[in-house]
Amino acid sequence: MLRRVRPDQHGPFDLEEGGCCIPDCQLAVATVVELTEAKDNAILVTTWYSGTHQIFRDIYIGPDHALNPNRYFIVCINQIGDGLSTATHNADGPNAELATSKFPKVRIGDDVVAQERLLREHFGIATLQLVVGASMGVQQTYEWAVRFPDKVRCAAPITSHDFLYTETLNEQIWSDPGWNGGEYKSNVDVLDGLTRHAHIWGVLGFSTEFWEQEVGRSLEFETKEAFLERFLEPDSTVMDPNDLLTLA
């Protein structure tokens, strides 16, 4: 079940940098099975750059998968700015002044503080059996372990990327004239930049072995070019550029 929940029920959510806040911060949360009465069976899944809870849920969660819902209450919390949680393209009402290029900088620490507050205030969860995430979810996993060590029994980071990786992806958006300093009318205006974004993702986001072994064929893509044109490009070009920059 997916729902949007406010991490702070008592007012704006303050951010770590620049004295900014999000007046009505809402996080999109997906849960699997039920929390025990003792509230001691929770696992947190963090999301990653350009991703949502959906893929992690489909691949990692199930009776015969890494995260067994027969034993654990599994919570997937989407990052601020990912498009399901509060983001630039859905900023309206109290958040209207944060739309497009005016959305404030959000740091990994902001994501983790919001997640901890939501789990504690909305679900009453004080301790997590596990925090797990991939890619940018790794950064959140480490932040949980450092910031809230008494609340995390185990942490499982699954690969990661660095600053230069996301900065290179950002540059593909910034260099498109249609980006217009963030004040574009739709993602279509930044189509060239988002297409280049997909190509860089193909180089940096997938291993050499993935391409050498032509893993795309097992996914019914007959060539590398087909995988790029029919999977990576459509995946990137439908995204909101400012949402991607917020996540980065």
Pair (199, 151) in one structural domain: no
Task: Mark which of 158, 176, 205 sits at the end of a domain.
Answer: 158
How far is 206 from 194, CA to CA, in rounded Å? 17
Range of the domain at 230: 163-247
Pair (230, 187) in one structural domain: yes
Pair (121, 190) in one structural domain: no
pLDDT band per the 50, 70, 90 thresholds, residue 4: confident
Q: Which of 52-61, 130-139, 140-149, 155-164 has the highest mean pLDDT?
A: 140-149
Task: Mark which of 125, 158, 191 sits at the end of a domain.
Answer: 158
Would the pLDDT of 27 be above 70? yes
Q: What is the pLDDT of residue 9?
A: 67
Would the pLDDT of 190 be above 90? yes
Pair (7, 106) in one structural domain: yes
Pair (137, 14) in one structural domain: yes
Pair (169, 236) in one structural domain: yes
The CATH number of the domain holding residue 15 is: 3.40.50.1820
Pair (53, 172) in one structural domain: no
Q: What is the pLDDT of residue 10?
A: 63
Domain count along the chain:
2
pLDDT, tens only, 108-119: 999 999 999 999
Of the candidates 40, 38, 31, the one whose C-alpha atom is nearest the C-alpha of residue 69 is 31
Pair (176, 120) in one structural domain: no
Helices and strands in the chain, H and E counts: 9, 8
Pair (45, 98) in one structural domain: yes
The predicted model gives 226-241 an average pLDDT of: 93
Backbone angles phi, psi at 6, to 5 degrees: -85, 125
Backbone angles phi, psi at 118, to 5 degrees: -65, -45
pLDDT, tens only, 63-86: 888 888 899 999 999 999 988 899
Pair (99, 175) in one structural domain: no
Q: What is the pLDDT of residue 208?
A: 87
